[in-house]
Amino acid sequence: MILATPGPVEIPQFVREIFLQPAIHHRTSQFKQILIEGLERWKRLVNLPYGVFLSSSGTGAMEAVVLNLVKKGAVSVNGGKFGERWGKICKAYSIPVQEIFYPWDTPANVAEVVDRVIAGAKEGKVDTLLLQLCESSGGVRHPVEKIAKEVKRERPEIVVVVDGITGVGVEPIDSRFIDVIIAGSQKAFMLPPGLAMVGFSQLGMERIGKGKGFYFNLAVELKKQESGTTAFTPAVQHIIAFNEVVKRWEKMGLDNYYRFTRLRHQGLKEGIRAIGLELYPQEPALAMVAVKMEGAEQFRRLLEEQFQIKVAGGQDHLKDKIFRINNMGLIPPNRLVYILNSIELGLERVGVRSYTGDGIRAFSRYLFQNDNKK
């Protein structure tokens, strides 16, 4: 079975082998070195001076950040299931939150978000902005860098938080005006779920202060991890595997790695359009391709049963309206050729169109024509 969902993604063989290795104890000099190396790689990846690993899903890191950094109140962008989650976390802790709603295919409007944050800050009610880089429920890419820059121009004291769970490791992120970036192991890092990573700017670090909570007290965890240990039992094998994945990216050269991801994404979009299907979001994120289709649930079952491909469906009002194909991690082009070919064959079997091979031709043409271009 090909797992082509945008998280969890397929786990490559070299990662699976790491999880079969003998366990090592986390209170040893051996693991201390691994932890320190992993944190340094993480901080370089997001270009932020402080970092921490949490043994949780990405949602755990979102909760930790809200609990520890939001002091007065927050503005959040709600453009899908994960933007909605920011609001739910704030409300769970009785933290005031102003949500700005967008259709799931629509990127956040820079001016609208900035105006709301500035107004809330002037009233003394807002000190934090909560965003998604990629809202994976619809596949849209929000202009977080532009929003952050404009917010900081007017109110540099606002802490800008970006959920990059479906974005980090997919494309470079300009973090000059961002204070917190969150990522998760089951996305571009191609690991099992269970490890979250958080990067902090100097302002983000200062905002934490003494921290809050017990397990998710970021002040305690940051202090421990800076010295090469952890407050609680860490996800040891995940951290070992994280190191190995990022080492491979570094060996390829991050620019080359990101460029290959962009090429695959554009090629996949060309292939989808060539077989007569329409993309869902107005501004697609590089992490996936979300495709419009009435009756998407039945088509997903066909792909799984007849071609051994599992793609993700839509949620809530998008259920049976879209399906989503992963583009995160180290995906060989021939894997996407097979997926595109199967989609086109599937369309023939449900009577939508005759098979012509247009999808794989468009995909291959784009990759070959652009592979050597800078």
Classify 164 as helix, strand or coil: coil
pLDDT value of position 43: 98
pTM above 0.95, yes or no: yes
Rounded distance, CA 115 to CA 197, Å?
30
Rounded distance, CA 298 to CA 276, Å?
18
Q: Helix axis angle, 29-46 relative to 236-252, nearest 10°?
A: 50
DSSP state for residue 93 in the 8-state scheme: T
The torsion region of residue 7 among left (phi > 0), alpha (psi -120 to 50) and beta comes to left
Structure tokens at 325: 């194909």
Number of other residues whose CB lies within 10 A of the CB of residue 98:
16
- E strand or H helix at 141: strand 140-141
One-character DSSP codes across 228-270: T--SS---HHHHHHHHHHHHHHHHH-HHHHHHHHHHHHHHHHH
Beta carbons of 198 and 65 less than 8 angstroms apart: yes
All CATH 3.40.640.10 domain ranges in the chain, comma separated: 12-251
All CATH 3.90.1150.10 domain ranges in the chain, comma separated: 254-370
pLDDT value of position 371: 77
Overall fold of domain 12-251:
Aspartate Aminotransferase; domain 2 (3.40.640)
Beta carbons of 39 and 225 less than 8 angstroms apart: yes
Rounded distance, CA 197 to CA 164, Å?
10
**pLDDT tens per residue, the chain (374 residues)?**
999 999 999 999 999 999 999 999 999 999 999 999 999 999 999 999 999 999 999 999 999 999 999 999 999 999 999 999 999 999 999 999 999 999 999 999 999 999 999 999 999 999 999 999 999 999 999 999 999 999 999 999 999 999 999 999 999 999 999 999 999 999 999 999 999 999 999 999 999 999 999 999 999 999 999 999 999 999 999 999 999 999 999 999 999 999 999 999 999 999 999 999 999 999 999 999 999 999 999 999 999 999 999 999 999 999 999 999 999 999 999 999 999 999 999 999 999 999 999 999 999 999 989 976 55
**CATH for the stretch 254-370:** 3.90.1150.10
Distances (CA, A) of 324 to 205, 230, 272, 280: 36, 37, 12, 9
Burial of 335 per CB tally in 10 Å (0-12, 13-18, 19+)? middle
Helices (H) and strands (E) in the chain, counts: 13, 15
